[in-house]
Each structure stands twice: as C-alpha cells, then as structure tokens.
Chain A
Amino acid sequence: MELQLGLALPPPPLIPIETFDLNSYGNYETREALGSNALSWPLLKLGPADNDINNIHHHNSSSSSSSSSSSGGGAGCKKRSFDEAPFFDEKRNVPKTLHLLLWTNQPNDEDDDPSNVLHENSSSAIFKNDGEGLVGWPPVKTWRKKVHHQIPNGGAENNRLPAVENGIGGRASKSTYVKVKMEGVPIARKIDLSVHHSFEGLTNTVMRMFGICKIADGNRKIFKLTYQDREGDWLLAEDVPW
C-alpha cells in the first residue's frame, strides 16, 4: 500500500461529519457501568472525511507552523514555549497546521492493511520464548530487578543476594536476555540465551551481531567469549559446560 500525501488545512469550524457509533465497537454494558451519558455525543470531530484516501491536495502549508515558533524570538528552550505561542489556538482539537493524511473514519481495512501482519511480525520479534522473556516488561527498573531475588518465606536471616548483572531473576524469572559488549565497541547488544544450545551457536550469533565476518575458522581463535560471574570476576565462557 503506497502512502499518499494528503496535505490539507482543515476548514475552520470543525464539522462533525459522522458520529462515530460506539455500538459498532460493541459492549453497551461498559457505557452503562459508567453511569453517565457523557459519551452519547460524537467523539470524532474532524475535517471533511474523504473516503478516497487518494484524494490529494498539495499545499505549501509550512507558513502557519513556522509562525508559531518565531513568536518569543526562538523560544526553543523553554518547556512551555509552544503552548505560549499566540498563534497556537488552544480551543480547537486540531491545531491550525497541516495534516499529513486526511483521516478517514473507516476502520483499518483488514485485507490490505499490512499493520495486522506487521504487528504479528513485530511482536514475534519480542516474544522470543513463546510469550515469555519480553524485553522491558513488566516495567520495573533494573535497580529493582536486582533486589528481588530472595525467597521471602521467613528468609529474613538469609539476606544474601546474588549480584546478578543482567536482571535475570532467581527461581522463577523467565527473562534470559544478557548484555553483550565487545572490547572497543561502545554499543552493547542484547542476546537471548535460551535460543542457543551451545557455545558455538552463541559465538556465531555474537560475531554476526558485531559484524565480525567469518573467514574460514581462523577468527574463532582470535575472539574469546567471556562472562562475568556473581562475584564480578570475568571468566572464559568455554571453561564451563553449557
């Protein structure tokens, strides 16, 4: 699906073209549960709905957007500068600058909308272990992950925590991602240990990630895989069994 440019300024008063029917999204009970009539008015107020997404008008529409920034003389560094700009009309839902696409109130077409397919692809990139091992979920800071590796049942005397580098939990953690750093390269990568079954596989993936191409078998001898254990010591990975 090729994206078409729809540059258009919305017409001044906002005309509710179609009331978006909540019924089509099902679930009457939820509205009644709220006990208010507040949602009975149309919620989508937009410019002219254009069913044909290919209807394009090109505009030089940069003028209105640039004027808002010139007020206050380059008000770039204050956090509220854009709100303060006199050209920004706060009363409207849609600011008086350009749309890049005219909103059509058709729900996403299941057929030609790649977003469904793409969502699956993108989520499979994250869900590496059948839905477990999500990166960054639950949203707990690394600091806190390092704390919660204890057995709480009367373990008050036993308060020695393992110093875990990578946020992998104690008994019940599902996260198997580790940080991999290469000497001389500032950017670290993350690798999911559970999809590898041998040092060879792991080494290959690491080399691929850091862009080290394999020239026969020579390279494997030059690069060494090391890991940091609980005491913070660096050890050769291949000294211990997988």
Chain B
Amino acid sequence: MQKEMAYSFPDEVLKHVFTFIQSDEDRNAVSLVCKSWYEIERWCRRKVFIGNCYAVSPRMVIRRFPEVRSIELKGKPHFADFNLVPDGWGGYVLQWIAEMAGAYPWLGEIRLKRMVVTDESLELIAKSFKNFKVLVLFSCEGFSTDGLAAIAASCKNLRELDLRESEVDDLSGHWLAHFPETCTSLVSLNISCLGSDEVSFSALERLVDRCPNLRSLQLNRGVTLDKIANILRRAPQLVDFGTGNYAAELQPDVFSNLAGAFSSCKELKSLSGFWDVVPAYLPALYSICPRLTSLNLSYATIQSPDLIKLVSHCPRLQRLLVLDYVEDSGLEELASSCKDLQELRVFPSDPFGAEPNVSLTEQGLVAVSLGCPKLQSVLYFCRRMSNAALVTIAQNCPNLTCFRLCIIEPKTADYLTLEPLDAGFGAIVEHCKDLRRLSLSGLLTDHVFEYIGTYGKKLEMLSVAFAGDSDLGLHHVLSGCESLRKLEIRDCPFGDKALLANAAKLETMRSLWMSSCAVSFGACKLLGQKMPKLNVEVIDETEPPDSRPESYPVDKLYIYRSVAGPRFDMPPFVWSMDEAVKILH
C-alpha cells in the first residue's frame, strides 16, 4: 500500500503542493506526517521565524533548512524597551549573519527585532547576499550611518529598508547618496528614527524620484514642513506616509501647496510622524482624511479640540495612536465618528508627573468601547480606573484580542469603591474569549490571576507589574493559561514555590521574565540543573548571586527554552544556571 502511495505522489508533486503552505504552524504539521514529508518539506521551506535568537543556533537552523530565503529573529526580552535589561545583555546578530553568509547565498530578507546590529553585520549583509531585498531593523541598536551606506551601495534590488524605532549613530548625513542611480526598486523606506542631520534631503528627493513603486515612506524628524509637499508631489502613489516636523509659520502659499500635494495622493491611507505640530496646518490633510484608515499622532502635542476636528473627518479610521491630550471629550468624538475603529493606543503626555495634566479618565475608553463595536486592540495609559468601567468595556467589546491597560500609579485601587481591580480584569478575560495579549495594572490580588488562569485559555502574552499577594497568583497563571508563550513580571511577591511546581510549563513557553520578585538563587540553580532544555539566566549588575546566601532573591531572572544549550556571549552580569556552565564569572 505504501509503495503505491509513493509512486502516485512523486516528490516533485509534494514539493509543489507544499509551496502553497505558507504558515509556520501548517508547515510544522506537514513535517510531522512522516519521514519523507519531513525531508521534502525541509528542503522547500523558504521562511523561518525565530522568536528568541537564543532558542536555537544558526548552525541548527541551517542544517535543517538548507534553502531559506527569509529570516526573522528576535533578541532581547520585551522589558528591554523600558530599560530593565542592562546594556550589553546580548542579542548580537553578527554570528547569524556570518553563518548565513556561507549557507544562504540567496537570502533575500532579514527582519530583526531588539537585536544588536553592528556596522560589521551590515557590511557583511551588503557583500554576502546578491539578491538582498528586505532589511527591517525594528528597535535595534549598535549601528551607524556607515553601515547603512554599505547597504545602500551594495544592494542593487533593495525593496525595503525599515529602521523603525532603532538607535542609529549619526556619523554622516550622506549615506542616502550611496544608493546608486540604478536603484529604482524601493517600495518601502522608513528612516523616522534618524536625527535631524542624518539625512541628505536632496539625495532623498532624487531617490524618491526614481522609485516609482515606492508605497511607504516615513521621513525623519529633521524634514521640515515645506519639504513635505515636494516629496509628496514626487510620490503621489504613496499608501503610507510619515511626515517629519509638521510645524512652520502659517503662510497661505505654504498651506495651499501642502494641501494640494496631499490631495494628489489618491492612495494614501496611513499617516504618521507629526512631530512638532502647528494645528493650523492640519486642515491641509482634510482632502485625504476620508480615505485614512490609520493615523499615528502619538508624537503630536496638539490639544483635544484640534484632535477632535481632525478625527471627525476620518470616518474610515481603523487604527488611531494618540497622546492623552485627546482627553475624554476627544475619545467621545472618536466613538461617534469612527465606527470602524479596531485599534486604539493612548499614550501619556506626562508619564512622570504626579498630578494629571489632562482630563483623560476611564470614561474615554468606556465611550470608545460603546461606540466602536469592532474594537480589537487597546493600549491605554490613564490615572484612574474602576471595576465597573472594566466590566462595561468587557461586555461591549467581546472581540478584544489585545488589552493593555496602564494605570500610571502602581497599585491604584478602583477609585469608586477603593477595592482591587480583580473583578474588572476578570470580566475582561471572561468575556473576551479570544484575548491573546493582556497587560495588568492597578491594585490586584491573587484573585485576578485566578480569573486569568480560569478564563485566559487563548492568552499568549501576559505582562504583570506590582500585583498579587503570593505564589498562588503565579501558580494560577502557569497552571491555567494553556496557550501562554510569554510571561513578564516585575515587582510582584512571587517566589520559588509556584515556579518550581510548574517547572515543566516553562518548556512549553518561549520565555519568562521576572524582576524584583522573590525567586531565590537556590531555586534558580535547581531549575537550571533539573531542566536542561531551559536556559535559566540570572541578571545582577551589583554583585555575583553566589556571593550571597542561596535563599536571597535574585534581581532579575530570564528563563527561556532552548535546544542550543547555554549561550556563550553572556556579559559579566548575566549568570547561567546551567549545570554545564561551571564557571560563574
């Protein structure tokens, strides 16, 4: 029987069928069917996603998938965004590039997030991959404009260069001029993270001129408002545009030039940038507002009345990022104008101020939940919350997939009842059955974790700060959340018991971060010894953890599953608990 099957489906046919299978999950399933499918599949896998660059070694990836064309790697833990991971922790991409340079001559796409990328890495990319098309450096660091010049000069068919939120060393503004005149292939260019001096505007104009397929362009802050019209007129086919500064003295001719330039962009759907906004120039956008689906005003320090006016012109808006200057009144207007809204992010204008500087409360979010039935993703910074509001939001928005609430003052109770916010968050996890991501804040007891463990069956990522009473809280989450992949915790009274009792759970997750909790050094060592497929890393910048009693808590703990064993690039302040690594530096 099997022989017949083999003859009726030759490898080439299977290979062809597999090319239609794009998702990683499906490909993994295919590879488990039988040995021959595993073999065929691995030779035709073109795209690899590695959520933790230390979970596997480059050599292992290359050995299994010899013909990869596109790779995505993530490095540092998420809390690195908030300065909780010391500099020098790791996440270096160089070794990956070096090994892939030899093994994947046809590699065309590299996407990195939170990794350290040096100029040497960029130069190696530039000279190793003849068909290089896509470079995305999301929240990366360690490189300068020299490295960018190498990429620009060598990559003849570059389609995408996206440096969003990366930290770039400004050495010279002329790297853009290194794109050869023959380069006409750019589709997407995001240089919004660069400082004022780092971009030669004339080089940029010429580049935009000769790239007719440019669809997405995010300028850096140094580009002034008068120059925006020039760029737009050269690229009316843009779909996604990030302005630089949006400020200038109000002059009628500048205004009408700008308005005309915007109106010539018939495909424009997404806007961002808007540093330093002069509100009087916002009406220049009105002609394209009816088509806008995405608006990022999170750097725009404009007040609620101006925001309301703008937003009321955008009935098709699906995604809005804004500062809390929008206030409750602005969000109420949003709720009545933008019925298609799917994602809302409200950032704090004064995160460190003790007193509220704007009138933004839980009411704004409640209004949006009432008015926007398609709401799926929320990130909301505010200063007060109530269980009643959270229950209302949960009932209004059962389709939420991502709910991140940050009440600025830690351990803030329900402002109406002075109780913990357990019931409110409980309602969120109970009603929003597809919730994949949740961030908690406010006063919370172990109860909230009980709810989360009970209802959060699809929860993949959970962020916790200043919450819980005891190990029971952590135990609820680790034992209840079946889909949990990433858990990050800071300043919670969680200790050894829950962690050790659920040690096996950690092998089913990508990673666990715990800082300023109560996990002892002894427990870390035990985990490291007994769980060989976990890398247990203790981070302590002040002194070695073994210079203190074993019962003393560790400062920061990062645990992740890995088939590559302990890593070799740990800095002096990171200690591996792996038994094989005997030397604690």
B406 in contact with A138 (CB, 8 Å)? yes
CB neighbours of A34 from chain B (8 A):
391, 423, 426-427, 430
Q: Is the C-beta of B174 less than 8 angstroms from some C-beta in chain A? A: no
A69 in contact with B563 (CB, 8 Å)? yes
Given contacts A76-B564, A113-B495, is CB(A135)–CB(B61) below 8 Å?
Answer: no
A74 in contact with B81 (CB, 8 Å)? no
B243 to chain A, nearest CB (A): 14
A141 in contact with B87 (CB, 8 Å)? no
A22-30, A192-200, A214-222, A233-241: which lies at the B interface?
Answer: A22-30
Q: Is the C-beta of B354 less than 8 angstroms from some C-beta in chain A? A: yes
Given contacts A34-B391, A62-B532, A187-B573, is CB(A156)–CB(B278) below 8 Å?
Answer: yes
Category for how many chain A residues contact B: 35 or more
Instruction: From B27, B79, B275, B571, give the contact of A187 (CB < 8 A).
Output: B571
Cα separation A152 to B276 with both chains bound (whole Å):
11
B32 in contact with A84 (CB, 8 Å)? yes
Cα separation A24 to B518 with both chains bound (whole Å):
23
0/1 string, B558-585, CB within 8 A of A gives 1: 0001111000000111000000000000
Q: Is the C-beta of A114 less than 8 angstroms from some C-beta in chain B? A: yes
Instruction: From A99, A142, A173, give the contact of B504 (CB < 8 A).
Output: A99
A75 to chain B, nearest CB (A): 7
CB neighbours of A230 from chain B (8 A):
none
Cα separation A86 to B348 with both chains bound (whole Å):
46
- Across the two chains, which residue of chain A brings its CB closest to B472? A107
A33 in contact with B391 (CB, 8 Å)? yes
CB neighbours of A226 from chain B (8 A):
none
Given contacts A81-B28, A125-B555, A187-B86, is CB(A94)–CB(B503) below 8 Å?
Answer: no
Given contacts A123-B491, A138-B408, is CB(A147)–CB(B325) below 8 Å?
Answer: no
CB neighbours of A119 from chain B (8 A):
493, 517-518, 553
A141 in contact with B81 (CB, 8 Å)? yes
B479 in contact with A77 (CB, 8 Å)? no
Instruction: From A144, A145, A159, A169, give the contact of B276 (CB < 8 A).
Output: A159
CB neighbours of A161 from chain B (8 A):
276
Number of A-B pairs whose CB atoms are under 8 Å?
A: 304
- Across the two chains, which residue of chain A brings its CB closest to B280? A156
A1 in contact with B551 (CB, 8 Å)? yes
Q: Is the C-beta of B350 less than 8 angstroms from some C-beta in chain A? A: yes
CB neighbours of B180 from chain A (8 A):
none
Q: Is the C-beta of A203 less than 8 angstroms from some C-beta in chain B? A: no
Given contacts A30-B422, A100-B501, is CB(A74)–CB(B563) below 8 Å?
Answer: yes
B430 in contact with A152 (CB, 8 Å)? no
- Across the two chains, which residue of chain A brings its CB closest to B564? A76
B504 in contact with A22 (CB, 8 Å)? no
Q: Is the C-beta of B209 less than 8 angstroms from some C-beta in chain A? A: no
Closest 6 CB pairs of A and B: A76-B563, A136-B82, A115-B518, A101-B500, A97-B504, A172-B353
11 sampled A-B residue pairs with Cβ under 8 A = A25-B447, A30-B387, A72-B32, A77-B61, A82-B507, A102-B501, A114-B520, A116-B518, A118-B520, A148-B348, A174-B352
Which residues of A are interface residues toward B (Cβ below 8 A)? 1-3, 5-7, 22, 25, 27, 29-31, 33-34, 36, 38-39, 43-46, 62, 65-66, 68-69, 71-84, 86, 88, 90, 93-95, 97-104, 107-108, 113-116, 118-119, 121-123, 125-126, 134-145, 147-148, 150, 152, 155-157, 159, 161, 167, 169, 172-175, 177, 179, 186-190
